[in-house]
Amino acid sequence: MDNDPANAPEMGNVNLPLAMNRQQTEVFELLRGLSTEHDKFHEWYQGAIQVINSRSADKLAQAANSIRELCDKLPDRIADIPKFNSPVSAVKSLQRDFLDIRTSTYANGWKDKAINNALNKLLLRLEEIFRLYNEPPRTARFKLALTSSDLQAEFMSKEHREARDDTFERIGSFFQGVTHHRQAVDESEFREELELFESLILNFLTPCTAAQQHELLTLIAGAPSPEAISNINKLISHKGANFVLFFEKLNNPKWLQFLDQQGHFSNLPGPELSRDEQIGYRIHVPLITLARLAESAPQEVANILVKLKLPDNPRVGDQVLQCMAKIRDPACIRQLRPLVTQFGENPLRTSWLWIQELLKTWTEAQAFSEVFVIIDICLVAAVDLLNERSPDFDTWRFQEIDKDILNQLAPKYPFEIASSVFKALCRWADRERRKYRESELSDDGPFSDWHEDFKSPQPSHRGLEGTLAIRLFSASEHIYRQGNPSRIDELDKLLRSNPWRLFQRLRWQLYADFPALSLERARAEVLKRIPALNEIDHGRGRHGYEFAQLLIAHAKQHGNAFLSSEEVEQFVNVVFKGPVDKDGNILEDYKEVFCRKQLWPISSLLRGEQLAAYRVLVSESLGVGCFPLRPAAFRRYSAIAVLSAMFLSAPRQARSRLVLRLQVESPCPLNAQLHSSCPSWRLSSSQLLTVRSL
């Protein structure tokens, strides 16, 4: 028997552990608090320390066995982690039984054979083996138990978590191998691994101390150095709370370069599949630091941002957009163009939570080129998010952007705003078209009459598309008011590039509002439509509100320069051939109303027989007492012009009935309205007094 006390050391009083450094003492006290009557964790650990300090020939294997026992038993004490049961023996017995069942009952194969009782029991055993395979092994149990106590570990990057998991796996394999003499190590290497094991225990099973927080804040305030970086890494590598605290408190831009070199800002987290197979998105904690320093250190932050590879993670995209929104230096903003392009490749990489702040900041910095690129991208995102999950980019947010940003930019940069909004509306129209079969759509689809007119506020039930339509018209008005012929031509080509009827109606309204700048375009539109003016189809022959306004405005301002006598005659002749439905059938019951509605916008151009025929239609309509009109604005404005024209064209004996109609259509004083809507049409003093007295 070996009586050398060095090889069989006295354990002493466990309350006063011997030969332990500060870290080991902290581990001993922690394990003593976790010990039970059956599992004396602190004694196992103390035994390992004292054995290492002995001269026993097999001391490393003996110490490793105590540490391995700690790894096996601690998880049961600190977390509810399933125990590991090796499936090897179960698989071996299953193999024998499987061969017996196949030989006795299924020798000719499995196809079309019923599952008998023996095979059923075997399958149930196989199911149990699958469960065993899914249970965590020893090392994984130890890791799960320790990390379950660190509630902020999920905020660590995937790379940090993978590095942490590799550490646990290496530690477990190391002590397992040394215990079974499968791994030859020297005492120095063993002590290094033991020290790492101790630091893991302390990091995960003790809360952040005031001393650790003070040390972190002191390191943050100082200049980065190899020693400081090493100390930082020790504090944040295995403890999520310290990791989050460091990046939340870091306000020293001198650290950014070193953190960037260590990869803290690369490998941003993408979508992750949870245990219940749901897709989840995590933030990237180091980006918190970039958002804090972006305003005070824009160049350093921009240098990091421009290198990022954006994942398809809207939470990370929001963080990056927040960083960008805080950069006010125009040169740094221009430097971020490649990052802006990445958002353009997939606008759903962010929920656009920070878009208002970004556009406001960059507009104030006069980085207009980048502002227009971002507007292009975010408007597309606004449309695309209508198809996605509950739309983060909601209508209200876009209305705020329209009011605060687009409205501000449109007077000075109308073409750029019009182009961006036009693209978004085209995308919205394509989205709507995909809801129908091709045979259900006309060339100018989808349906656009939800937008009654371009000058009235949108109904509350209309969404993004209504705000876009109003903004496009407003920006287009600015282009016309500036009077630049080349820009007007560019706008016209832009609006003609998509056949959607909404854009056609918008052009007609512009021609109506700016007849001095649009004569040739308006003439071309009318001449193109003349052959189909007998068709009742709203998209081809029948006038809509905007086209009727175009006819009134140009006939009034340009007379026969707008439509020559021959063209007016052709116009009238085609109208009187209608109305014709899509199958070519004439609708006789609707003929008088149809012809009257088609001709009244150009009634000031009618002469001779044309005017006489029109007067007959007007006279007959007065007896009927109805004149269908479409939108509310049409009723407010156009009815006055229509009825005024009818008044002048009607036989004298029919005018008293027309005055009654005027009273119904507009009970307010009409002198100014009649004169402004049709100044070339003059009522006699007695007639005007009659109207004004209503």
Residue 252 forms part of a structural domain: no
Q: 118 and 51 share a domain?
A: no
Residue 76 forms part of a structural domain: yes
Higher pLDDT, 333 or 84: 333
Confidence of residue 674 (pLDDT cuts 50, 70, 90): very low
Residue 251 forms part of a structural domain: no
CB under 8 Å, gap of 24 or more: what pairs does 564-568 form?
565/607, 567/526, 567/527, 567/530, 568/602, 568/605, 568/606, 568/607, 568/610
Q: Is the pLDDT of residue 326 over 90?
A: yes
Q: 76 and 164 share a domain?
A: yes
Element housing 280 (H / E) = strand 279-280
Q: Show the domain range for 116.
A: 88-134
Distance, in Å, from the CA atom of 193 to the CA atom of 171, rounded to the nearest integer, reads: 7
Residues 143-197 have pLDDT tens digits of 776 666 665 656 666 666 677 777 877 888 888 888 888 888 888 998 988 888 8
Distance, in Å, from the CA atom of 257 to the CA atom of 537, rounded to the nearest integer, reads: 67
Residues 252-303 have pLDDT tens digits of 999 999 999 988 998 898 888 776 778 888 889 999 999 999 999 999 999 9
The answer to whether 425 and 415 are in contact (CB under 8 A) is no
How far, in whole angstroms, is CA 672 from its chain's centroid?
Answer: 51
Distance, in Å, from the CA atom of 74 to the CA atom of 555, rounded to the nearest integer, reads: 93
Query: What integer is the mean pLDDT of 436-440?
Result: 72
Q: How does DSSP assign 82-148, residue by residue?
A: PPP---HHHHHHHHHHHHHHHHHH-TT-STT----HHHHHHHHHHHHHHHHHHS--HHHHHHHHHHT
Q: Is the pLDDT of residue 85 over 80?
A: no
* Confidence (pLDDT) at 519: 96
Q: Output the CA–CA distances (angstroms, integers) from residue 249 to 37, 214, 218, in the order listed.
A: 43, 11, 11
Q: Is the pLDDT of residue 671 over 70?
A: no
Element housing 273 (H / E) = strand 272-273
Q: 121 and 159 share a domain?
A: no
Q: 678 and 571 share a domain?
A: yes
Higher pLDDT, 315 or 95: 315
Rg, C-alpha atoms of the chain: 41
Q: Output the CA–CA distances (angstroms, integers) from residue 375 to 356, 416, 459, 479, in the order listed.
A: 10, 10, 25, 19
Confidence of residue 520 (pLDDT cuts 50, 70, 90): very high
Q: 102 and 143 share a domain?
A: no
Higher pLDDT, 472 or 623: 472
Averaged pLDDT of the chain: 80
Residue 508 forms part of a structural domain: no
Nearest by Cα to 228 from 209, 208, 205, 252: 252
**Domain end: 75, 101, 134, which one?**
134
Q: Bridge partners of 272?
A: 280
pTM: 0.67
Query: What integer is the mean pLDDT of 466-481?
Result: 95
Tally the domains of the chain: 3
Q: 592 and 645 share a domain?
A: yes
**Domain end: 72, 102, 134, which one?**
134
Q: 97 and 39 share a domain?
A: no
Residues 14-44 have pLDDT tens digits of 444 456 888 888 888 888 888 888 888 888 8
**Domain end: 112, 134, 156, which one?**
134
Residue 378 forms part of a structural domain: no
Q: 159 and 128 share a domain?
A: no
Residue 225 forms part of a structural domain: no
Q: 38 and 76 share a domain?
A: yes
Q: 127 and 144 share a domain?
A: no
Residue 406 forms part of a structural domain: no
Residue 119 forms part of a structural domain: yes
Q: 55 and 99 share a domain?
A: no
Confidence of residue 138 (pLDDT cuts 50, 70, 90): low
Q: 95 and 201 share a domain?
A: no
